[in-house]
Amino acid sequence: MATVILGSGIIGLSTAYYLSRKRDPSTIHIVDPSPKLFASASGNAAGFLARDWFAPAAAALGVLSFDLHQRLAEEHDGREKWGYSPSTSFGIVSSDGQRDDNDYDWLLLGSSRARAVHSSGVSTDEVGPVWLKMKDGKRIERNSEDGTTAQVDPLRLCEFLLGECQTRGVQLHHPAKALSVTPDIKGELACVRILSTVTGIESDIPATRIVIAAGAWSPSVFKSLFPSSGLDIGKFIGKLAGHSIVIKYPEVNNPKITGNCHAIFLNSEAGFTPEIFSRVGGEIYVAGLNCSSLTLPELPTDTILDTEAIQKLKDLAAGTIGIDDRQTELEIVKSALCFRPVTESGTPLICKIKDADLGELKTRLDGGGVYLAAGHGPWGISLSLGTGMVMANLIEGHQAVSEIRDLGLDNGKHR
């Protein structure tokens, strides 16, 4: 039985990666319409990993995924191939030490992801990374325990996962758009029709299972394939746009100066929640400008950068990055705008969609189905490997997947 995965971002790739260890990889098809792969959140996210910064519904998944990231890096030289590294997280707080309470819905409230975790309470003499400029009236506070946060370059991780999948025999259809689904004489899902946007040729992929992992585009993908369905995925999954820049700063790559990677969360203001992450290889990622009102483009490559937003991030970087007050020119190597799939609960949707919600189509009882894996918000990279593993288990018929018990459409925790 063939499986079609709609979306080649990190969630779709992780699903293909683990599913291909359980069945014939040649029966797994990844379909993506974007002319450029990883053009949205999977290629432009921060790449920050956390083990225990999640709401209770996603806590077990967070632990599983963090451990899988560590294991994958150990098995495949992740530091060299995709910049995997332990990280230490810090928050910048006012000198009076005032902090917010834990809040797992921090993103939709326009706050910082550091609100998802309390200060670690670790008493040390650490002063944070030497490249961080501190302002008067502020102090730095560590908010992660050793071994609970890490850093990757998400683009390079996606490229690794795709390479592994293709080496095994997983088939990539790109750029190609899923047009429709076709039933057999029993009215059950039999194939997915796709269109090559390069050649204009339509073709059918025989399939009894579909995984929708198209990020912020998941609602429109579902609607186009199941037009008679009364289920509106868009009521559960929204989109949040975020600008970012990547800076090349060679001093960050000197382990004698910086050690492992660092995550810095600054005080926020309305619509601006500054986050700064150093990466292996001498890069610093700066983000924090989020907007829910920007229109989701038809394709990730159709996004248009807001020059004012990028300039605000550059100004932030200039005021917070530097060593010993040296006037070092910051080299901007990348500016990006991506759309993250978000839910009101702050937790993703990882589930099988009931046949009753597919409209006129049914799926086979013996292993067929339509599945959804989306809505990870800013935690898509961190939760990716765990999502891929549990989704593969779910597809293979392991219904009692504890890590996603509370992440379905009907659990009452999503809007």
DSSP codes joined into one string, 111-123: --GGGGS------
The SS3 assignment for 105 reads coil
| pLDDT of the residue at 405 | 87
Tell me if the bond preceding 175 is cis, omega within 30° of 0: yes
Match 């060679």 to its residue by tokens.
250
| Identity of the residue numbered 116 | A
Question: Residue 153 CB: number of other CB atoms within 10 A?
Answer: 26
| pLDDT of the residue at 53 | 95
Low-confidence ranges of the chain (pLDDT < 50): 100-102, 104, 106, 108-111, 118-125, 256-257, 412, 414-415
Nearest to residue 68, comparing CAs of 51, 92, 44?
51
Nearest to residue 345, comparing CAs of 377, 368, 372, 381?
377
β-partners of residue 239 are: 341
| pLDDT of the residue at 117 | 54
Which residues contact residue 225 at a Cβ distance below 8 angstroms, ignoring those fewer than 6 apart?
Answer: 178, 180, 181, 192, 210
Q: pLDDT of 285-327, one tens digit each?
A: 999 988 999 999 999 999 999 999 999 999 999 988 886 655 5
| pLDDT of the residue at 412 | 47
Measured between alpha carbons, how far is 347 from 56 in angstroms, rounded to an integer? 9
Q: How many CA within 13 A on the CB side of residue 98?
A: 4
Q: pLDDT of 372-395, one tens digit each?
A: 999 999 999 999 999 999 999 999
Measured between alpha carbons, how far is 37 from 33 in angstroms, rounded to an integer? 9
The length of the chain in residues reads 415
What phi-psi label fits residue 87: left (phi over 0), alpha (psi between -120 and 50 degrees) or beta?
beta
